[in-house]
Amino acid sequence: MATLIIYYSLGGKTDLVAKTLAKHLNGDLVRIHDMKQRNGIKNKFLSSINAFRETKTTIVPANVDITDYDTIYFGTPTWMGNPTPAILTIIDRCNLRGKDAIVFATMDANRGDTNVKRLEEKVRMRGARVIESFTIATKGKAPEQLIKDTEAIIEMKDLKMYRR
């Protein structure tokens, strides 16, 4: 049962969570890059609107080969309570039929639960069976604390049982 972690990260916190998951679960990583400028106040505001509207975006890599993986994680920051355009774009390009999915969201404030619910809906529509989901609050936390929080979720949710 090979594990793949597909994620998008703008500020680096989701990247740290994904890398911690990969380390402890022996998973492979694919970081999705959004080719649209998302930094700066104006761009962050427009990005939040794009997330709310579920606007697709240009991403690199454009596609991910998931053939050899049984369990796929999808991770994203929370923008206005929604998944990012980059992660929604890659989910829509994946045939997840017969795959197990675990979704996670990082969040500065709250509304990560609505983000996770939408991620669950999206991966189910693509054919996956959602076996677990979680959120991680990141606001004001040092990298060491985010690693500890991620490790605690791995243990609490018994995520190691889904890997080989």
pLDDT of 55 reads: 78
Q: Could you tell me the CATH number of the domain that includes residue 72?
A: 3.40.50.360
Dig out the tokens for 35 from the structure: 């080719």
pLDDT of 80 reads: 82
Which residue type occupies 163? Answer: R
49-61: pLDDT as tens digits: 676 767 788 889 9
Question: What's the total number of domains in the chain?
Answer: 1
Q: Look at residue 1 and tell me whether its pLDDT is greater than 90.
A: no
What are the Cα distances from residue 69, in Å, to 44, 81, 84?
33, 29, 23
Q: Which domain holds residue 143?
A: 3-162
58: Cα within 13 Å, side-chain hemisphere = 3
